[in-house]
Amino acid sequence: MDTPVTVAQKTAAPPAATVDLGLRFDNSFARLPGAFYTRLPPASLPEPYLVGVSGSAGALIGLGAGDARRADFIDAIAGNRHIAGSEPLAAVYSGHQFGVYVPRLGDGRALLLGEAIGPSGEHWELQLKGAGKTPYSRMGDGRAVLRSSIREFLGSEALHHLGIPTTRALAVVGSDQPVMRETVETAAVVLRMAPSFIRFGSFEYFYWTRQYDELRQLTDYVIERFYPQCFDAAQPTIALIEHVARRTARLVAQWQGAGFCHGVLNTDNMSILGMTIDYGPFAFIDSFDAGYICNHSDVNGRYAYNMQPEIAHWNLYALGQALVALTDDVDATKAAIDAFIEEYAMAIDAVFRAKLGLRTEHAEDASLISGVIELLQATHTDWTIFWRALSSVQSTGGDSVRDLMIDRAAFDTWVERYRARLKTENSSDADRAARMNRVNPKYILRNHLAEVAIRQARGGDYSEVARLLKVLEQPYDEQPEFESYAQQPPDWAKTLELSCSS
Ligand code: AMP
Ligand code: MG
């Protein structure tokens, strides 16, 4: 086993000038022993520029609109200045990638800056993604490209505003420094935020390297900070697994409802807090296909849309395998992991009932739900447009959603059952429509919308990144001036492919 080294001590780079943003830091992760990370400063990028900024993310740590636009802050995100109070470090982890255990991964291009304290006292870990090489970079260059950074920025803010747990993104900063991928692209850094970036793979690392004291310490750290109720349980570690399983189940149910496909559900991309983390070739489904694979390198469809629940459960087994070392109680560990099954079943029912505008639970709802999904599958109807339009169904007959359907006879059969079901609830059409429009978004981050923003940003125009963010901040509202952002992808976008390269 190799011991992490402090790269900062080995290189002779001059200390960077400090920028004081008035942020208060309390860096609890950095107080863990050295086995958990390597301290090092970000590598610098020349002549950085601001590509995008999220005011709502900045507000979480008390930054005003002007703060994120300060030249010295942009410089700090680009690694050219030190943020007062931060203690940059790269965390170590491992994980199962496409089902295969990889003994050492870690922050290969991300640096944790520390925990900024928000106005209401909560801790927000700030992380730079694309900040240069670390001891965990393996063959990588430590960089992220503008394209993937804009996608992560918009993707994570979009999910947040949909109400899906996720890491946040405060800003994207670019530089003309070339970065080699399939073609030459340019570098960018995303300033991400989360209560914690600890992953399932963080636990796996200490288990597989037989560092059981550190495994215990990490577990206690996570329980103390994020799951304190587990300390009251007879077996806190088992209780932790069960909480994580249930949170993960609820997260995946929300993804399924929104038609969100993560793309790379390796265990190192699974948050211990049950939030969406590490945006790569993610996508929202346009024309529905349950077997949709967003990552074109995922040839076997391991991470296809309809595989996400099963894979999340599998990933919990990888976490349980690591944590069982602390309890030796295999049966209780399995039971805690399998709480996922029950929680997911409840959560997915709740998600689809809400999408259908139902307030009560009926035994036949399951077949109503599977019926509509089969219909959408058979006709490849646009997922988001369909659900949004479904609120137009009147209990007495008539709706505009029928016009969307290719197989109208099949839709008519289904919608008659749906109407009959609605009658059992006695809800007013207007109330139900309003309720449905609060859970069935009008605006999602369609791939072609991100692509347009990326192409313009490559030409130095960042206005579309800002405009798209604005639209996605109100996904459930009608925004007549942005009607075109709610349409199906144009023909040119049908051939877009998402690769793992980022
Ligand atoms: P991902 O699939 O993007 O979550 O990354 C998997 C692992 O590869 C993590 O340990 C990353 O830090 C690392 N990694 C990905 N891209 C790079 C890169 N360009 N340079 C260094 N490490 C990278
Ligand atoms: Mg990752």
Q: What is the predicted pLDDT for the residue at 14?
A: 62
Quick check: is 499 in a domain? no
Residues 247 and 162 in one domain: no
Please give the C-alpha separations between residue 242 and each of 40, 99, 146, 183, in angstroms, as whole numbers. Answer: 35, 22, 38, 44
**Nearest atom within ligand 1 for CA of residue 105:** 10
SS3 442: coil
Q: What is the predicted pLDDT for the residue at 498?
A: 87
In angstroms, what is the span from residue 99 Cα to ligand 2's centroid?
Answer: 14
**Nearest atom within ligand 1 for CA of residue 107:** 12
Which residues are catalytic, by number?
Answer: 268
What pTM value is reported for the model?
0.96
Instruction: Work out the average pLDDT over 214-227.
Output: 98
Q: Which residues line ligand 1 (CB under 6 A)?
A: 105-109, 136-137, 140-143, 264, 268-269, 278, 280, 502
**Nearest atom within ligand 1 for CA of residue 141:** 20
Residues 44 and 152 in one domain: yes
Residue 378 neighbours by CB distance under 10 Å = 12
Residues 226 and 186 in one domain: no
Cβ burial, residue 183 (10 Å; 0-12/13-18/19+): exposed
Quick check: is 496 in a domain? no
Q: What is the predicted pLDDT for the residue at 433?
A: 97
Residues 85 and 153 in one domain: yes
Residue 425 neighbours by CB distance under 10 Å = 14
Quick check: is 454 in a domain? no
Quick check: is 498 in a domain? no
Instruction: Work out the average pLDDT over 185-209.
Output: 98
Residues 369 and 220 in one domain: no
In angstroms, what is the span from residue 43 Cα to ligand 1's centroid?
Answer: 16
Quick check: is 482 in a domain? no
Residues 294 and 222 in one domain: yes
Query: Rounded to an integer, what distance in angstroms lies between the CA atom of residue 221 and that of residue 227?
Result: 9
Residues 289 and 366 in one domain: no
The DSSP result for 310-352, as a single string, is: HHHHHHHHHHHHHHHHHH--HHHHHHHHHHHHHHHHHHHHHHH
Cα-flanking dihedrals φ and ψ of residue 67, to 5°?
-60, -45
Residues 284 and 378 in one domain: no
In angstroms, what is the span from residue 140 Cα to ligand 2's centroid?
Answer: 13
Quick check: is 296 in a domain? yes
**Secondary structure letter of residue 473 according to DSSP:** T
Residues 110 and 178 in one domain: yes
Q: Quick one: pLDDT band at residue 219, thresholds 50, 70, 90? A: very high
Residues 17 and 161 in one domain: yes
In angstroms, what is the span from residue 137 Cα to ligand 2's centroid?
Answer: 12
Q: Which ligand is nearest to the CA of 281?
A: 1
In angstroms, what is the span from residue 340 Cα to ligand 1's centroid?
Answer: 28
Residues 282 and 135 in one domain: no
Instruction: Work out the average pLDDT over 189-193.
Output: 98
User: For all residues of the chain together, what is the average pLDDT?
Assistant: 95
- Which structure tokens are listed for 317? 């087994």
Q: With CA atoms as reference, report the closest residue to 163 among 477, 485, 466, 473.
A: 473
Q: In 380-458, where does DSSP find H-type helix?
A: 383-389, 408-425, 429-436, 447-458
Q: Quick one: pLDDT band at residue 396, thresholds 50, 70, 90? A: confident
Q: With CA atoms as reference, report the closest residue to 456 among 45, 52, 16.
A: 52
Q: What is the predicted pLDDT for the residue at 8?
A: 46
Query: For residue 336, what are the domain limits?
Result: 201-350
Total domain count, the chain: 3
Q: With CA atoms as reference, report the closest residue to 154 among 142, 144, 166.
A: 166
Q: Which ligand is nearest to the CA of 280?
A: 1
Quick check: is 465 in a domain? no
Query: Rounded to an integer, what distance in angstroms lies between the CA atom of residue 69 and that of residue 497?
Result: 33
Quick check: is 488 in a domain? no
Tell me which residue has its CA closest to atom 11 in ligand 1.
Answer: 108
**Nearest atom within ligand 1 for CA of residue 133:** 21
Q: Which of 268, 271, 498 to mutate to test the pocket of ligand 1 (most atoms within 8 A of CB)?
A: 268
Instruction: Work out the average pLDDT over 4-32.
Output: 77
SS3 263: coil
